[in-house]
């Protein structure tokens, strides 16, 4: 069981908005450690989508946005496109485990 909890799957139709939640605790997100989000197509290199809760690296479309509140974080994708179908992971640092932690991953299906 992952320290950061994500829904196993989410889905949406093209053009719609979806959100992926990442629930943590007082030893990671709630302690103020930043959350980073990655997009991963199995067999390929994961891609950094959002860094430090809400920063979009150069080249990432503004359809992707991140937010954090309390012990949770969220990734929002607007204007859903077929190419967004992938696995998404949140990642932070946990002070109890003294290491980086990933969420279990969320599979996004574009209907």
> Residues in the site for another protein, rule: CB under 8 A?
2, 33-34, 36, 38, 40, 43-48, 50-52, 57, 87, 89, 91, 93, 97-105
Scan for tokens 């509140």, then name that residue. Answer: 69
Residue closer to another protein (CB basis): 14 or 32: 32
CB 19 to another protein: min, Å: 19
CB 83 to another protein: min, Å: 18
3: left (phi over 0), alpha (psi -120 to 50) or beta: alpha
Residue closer to another protein (CB basis): 16 or 55: 55
CB 64 to another protein: min, Å: 13
Q: What angle do CA 68, 74, 79 make, to 5 degrees?
A: 130
Q: What angle do CA 23, 46, 92 make, to 5 degrees?
A: 30
Residue closer to another protein (CB basis): 32 or 79: 32
- Longest distance between any two alpha carbons in the chain, whole Å: 40
Structure tokens at 85: 């179908």
DSSP code, position 10: E
Residue closer to another protein (CB basis): 14 or 34: 34
CB 15 to another protein: min, Å: 28
């Amino acid at each position: 069981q992952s320290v950061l909890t994500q829904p196993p799957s989410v889905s949406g139709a093209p053009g719609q908005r979806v959100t992926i939640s990442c629930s943590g605790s007082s030893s990671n997100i709630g302690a103020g450690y930043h959350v980073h989000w990655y997009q991963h197509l199995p067999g390929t290199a994961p891609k950094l989508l959002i860094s430090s809760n809400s920063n979009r690296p150069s080249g990432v479309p503004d359809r992707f946005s991140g937010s954090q509140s309390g012990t949770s974080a969220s990734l929002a994708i607007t204007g859903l496109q077929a190419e967004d179908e992938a696995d998404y992971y949140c990642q932070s640092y946990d002070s109890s485990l003294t290491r980086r932690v990933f969420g279990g991953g969320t599979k996004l299906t574009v209907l």
